[in-house]
């Protein structure tokens, strides 16, 4: 099943499985609604999540939760993933059962590379086989219940395997590195509602000046506000590209004062207005569909 087909289906189906090279993510970012799980089966690629990038190589797994935005860059010719996704409605049903520490882990270390002999890799591969079977049987009477149980059990099982890695990875951070990771995680979690630097400094119980020092040490030539704005722009682009929301609705969702404010903000950072970007994206998508 191609990702082009999956991208259309994902809006109406509670569960989707695909083997894909993700080529439809190379031109414009996509906003995730629900949850997407990937296993890189061959090749390598870089996925941009806004502020940061993550590397996908063979045997690497990654999970993108609701509200994430992703863009594929620098993919090798043989790059391929197996993936499954659940809808926002199903995600809302299972998220209360997911340990908060796991969600926190994903914001700090979103990609995990399994060793070739690891039992966890065997589990992920078998799970992908199960996801494929569930997708083929999605019309059966008990499919929705089995899909819900599958998604939750996958997340809980994976958490059991990576939780020791979570602890050792976070312990490896020195204090300022840890504060920086917390700041980045907060941007991902709150940038839709909070654009002001003081909010983030207050969450870390530090001054804005000290936060600026931490960012300079970990992200040279960047300021905290630049990182917040960068993620906001990436989010706006993903909503313009992968949803039917109007610019007014996007401004409301991302807590801008109004459409005009969002338009000026977007043009200041990109050189074009949101309406112009949306038109250019639609042209690219039309060419992509015609050429598929």
Half-sphere exposure of 217 (CA within 13 A, CB side): 14
Beta bridge partners of 53: 48
d(CA 96, CA 243): 26
Residue with tokens 């000046």: 209
Each residue of 148-170: pLDDT tens digit? 999 999 988 877 776 666 555 55
Scan for tokens 């995600």, then name that residue: 91
Name all domains of the chain by residue range, CATH numbers in brackets. 3-172 (2.60.120.280), 175-291 (1.10.10.60)
Tens digit of pLDDT for each residue in 23-36?
A: 888 878 888 888 99
Let me know if 139 is exposed, middle or buried by CB neighbors in 10 A (0-12, 13-18, 19+). exposed
Contacting residues for 283 by C-beta, under 8 A, at least 6 apart: none
Tell me the pTM.
0.76
Beta-ladder partners of 42? 80
pLDDT higher than 50, residue 291: no
85: closest CA among 199, 162, 5? 5
What is the average pLDDT across 250-278?
95
pLDDT of 69-119, one tens digit each? 899 998 999 999 999 999 989 998 988 887 776 776 666 666 888 899 988
């Amino acid at each position: 099943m191609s990702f082009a087909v999956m991208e259309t289906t994902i809006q109406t189906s509670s569960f989707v499985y695909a083997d894909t090279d993700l080529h439809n993510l190379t031109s414009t970012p996509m906003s995730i609604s629900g949850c997407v799980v990937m296993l890189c089966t061959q090749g390598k690629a870089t996925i941009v999540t806004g502020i940061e990038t993550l590397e996908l190589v063979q045997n690497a797994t990654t999970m993108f939760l609701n509200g994430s935005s992703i863009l594929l860059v620098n993919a090798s010719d043989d790059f391929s993933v197996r993936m499954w996704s659940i809808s926002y409605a199903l995600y809302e049903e299972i998220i209360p059962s997911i340990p908060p520490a796991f969600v926190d882990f994903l914001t700090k270390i979103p990609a995990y590379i399994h060793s070739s002999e690891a039992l966890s890799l065997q589990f992920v591969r078998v799970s992908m086989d199960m996801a494929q079977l569930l997708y083929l049987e999605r019309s059966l009477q008990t499919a929705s219940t089995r899909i819900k149980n599958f998604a939750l059990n996958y997340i809980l099982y994976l958490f059991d395997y990576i939780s020791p890695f979570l602890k050792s990875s976070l312990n490896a951070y020195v204090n300022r590195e840890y504060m920086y990771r917390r700041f980045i995680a907060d941007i991902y979690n709150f940038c839709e509602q909070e654009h002001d630097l003081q909010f983030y400094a207050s969450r870390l119980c530090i001054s804005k000046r000290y936060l600026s020092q931490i960012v300079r040490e970990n992200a040279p030539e960047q300021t905290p506000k630049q990182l917040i704005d960068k993620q906001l722009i990436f989010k706006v682009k993903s909503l313009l590209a992968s949803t039917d929301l109007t610019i007014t609705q996007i401004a409301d969702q991302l807590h801008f004062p109004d459409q005009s404010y969002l338009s000026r903000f977007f043009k200041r950072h990109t050189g074009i207005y949101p309406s112009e970007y949306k038109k250019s994206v639609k042209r690219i998508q039309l060419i992509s569909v015609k050429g598929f």
